[in-house]
Each structure stands twice: as C-alpha cells, then as structure tokens.
Amino acid sequence: MKLLRNIPKGYQLFRSVSVFNPYLSKIEAAKKEGDIEKEKAVIGEGVALWIQRLEELFDITFHIEGQEHIPDTGACVFIANHQGYADIIAILKMMEGRQVGFIAKDSLEKVPYFGKWIKAIRGVFIKRGDAREALKSIQAGVQTLKDGFSLVIFPEGTRSQSTEMNAFKPGSFKLATKAKVPVVPVAINGTRHLFEDRGVITNGAVIDVKILPAIDTASMDRHSLANISGEVEDTIRKALRELVEKEKDRMQKE
C-alpha cells in the first residue's frame, strides 16, 4: 500500500532531476576545457535550480545557520550525520549554488537520472565490501579534492531515521586527511520527516541545518589526526541535540 502511495510523488521526484539535464553538456564542455571554476559554477547553478524545484514540489522549509563557516575558496570535506534521504537536499540547499559532490555507494550509479547526476556534480562512487575497489575510490576522492571539488561524507554509513545518531565508521576521514583539506562538520535534523517517519513521501518537512567551524587538517600533527574522527563525531552529536531541542520548542509553540 505504501508503495502505491509513493508512486505519484516518487514520479515527481525523479522527474524533477530533469531540470538539471540542460546543464550536463555545459558541465562536460567546461571539464574538457579544464576550466574548473566554470565547471563548479555551472554545477552550482543547475543544482540550485533543482533544489528550488524540490522546495516547491514538497513544501520544504529550511532553517540554516553557520553558512559563514563554508570556505570561500578551495575544496573541503563536509562531514554530516545521516538522518534521511533528504540530507542530500539539505546539504545542497546550504551550499547556495556552490559545487559539492557526494561519496555514494556504487549501486546508485545505475539509478536512472540520479546516477548520472551524482557523477556530473563530481560525486565519487564507492564499492562496499571490496577493499581493493574501496581504496581506488578513496584515491579517486582524494584526487577530486585536490582538483578543487568539495565532497560530502555521511560517516554513519546508513540512515539513522531518527533523532539519534549512529557511531561513525572508522576511516571516514581518510579523504580529508590524505588530501589535506579542511573538514566542515554539519548537523542535520528534520530530513526524516520527508520520507522515513511514515515510509511515504510527505509534504511540509521543516529541516534544520547547523554548519560548524571548519577544521584545518593540513596543519595537524599525527596525534590530532588520530583523534579527529571522535572529536568531529562529538561536535556533530552535540549540535544535533541542540537542533532536536529547537524542533521541540518550535512544535510546542505551534
């Protein structure tokens, strides 16, 4: 029954990605020219248009704080908790038309529309359960960062589907530390309301995002690098609790 109820809005969601199609050839042209800044600008423009479309389709409200912590220049790795599928939408919304790609499981590469889109915005697919292929993906991700393109990692590895955050998986920070780029922690709450709460795509989600100060991994010593995962996890967990309380206060006032 839930599957049938999801068909109309699911179709709208898949069709919405088509607004990005006119940008694919422009992205490819910029890539062939080796014009990284142009490529990033085109990606950002196309993504911003898609997010605007999703906001209208599903009546999503965003409350975003800390955008001043997003680096103005150079690549970085955004580390975020993973509450629901809509975390991707929240991340793209907070970027306000700037490029960012995602570390995604390789099975998504074959999904119509989305596989091509993830690749176009400089996302990196990773094959789980295969150490050799995973290493290749990490190397590809490091090169992507060195080329100037930012990436997002969800270290929990899977959606929590709740206000509780799962433990971060080890090795999630290798991309940032190997590429020596800043790490930007991000806490997200409310994305589960779009789908996970009921198993049905639901309009009217209110999503809170808190971007925390960037951490410069290039200047860290070995001891600091060894502890960065736990420290960032604690920082995001604390910020998530604050966002959950904020949501409760808002609901009480309503």
Between CA 239 and CA 236, with CA 220 as vertex, the angle to 5 degrees is 10
Q: Kindly state the average pLDDT of the residues 151-171.
A: 92
Has residue 136 got a pLDDT over 90?
Answer: no
- Domains of the chain by residue range: 2-253
Give pLDDT, residue 98: 96
Beta bridge partners of 151: 77, 101
Averaged pLDDT of the chain: 92
Give pLDDT, residue 224: 87
Give the model confidence (pLDDT) of 75-126 as tens digits: 999 999 999 999 999 999 999 999 999 999 888 888 878 888 999 999 999 8
- Beta-carbon-side half-sphere exposure of residue 136 (alpha carbons within 13 Å): 10
Greater pLDDT, 11 or 181: 181
CA distance 64 to 200: 25
Has residue 1 got a pLDDT over 70?
Answer: no
Between CA 247 and CA 83, with CA 5 as vertex, the angle to 5 degrees is 30
Has residue 50 got a pLDDT over 90?
Answer: yes
Class of 2-253 in CATH: alpha beta
Has residue 206 got a pLDDT over 90?
Answer: yes
3-12, 91-100, 125-134: range with lowest mean pLDDT: 125-134
Beta bridge partners of 102: 152
Give pLDDT, residue 171: 78
pTM for the model: 0.94
Q: Kindly state the average pLDDT of the residues 219-232.
A: 89
Between CA 60 and CA 157, with CA 193 as vertex, the angle to 5 degrees is 110
Give pLDDT, residue 15: 86
Give the model confidence (pLDDT) of 235-250 as tens digits: 999 999 999 999 999 9
- The DSSP letter of residue 67 is G
Contact call for residues 187 and 178 (beta carbons, < 8 A): no
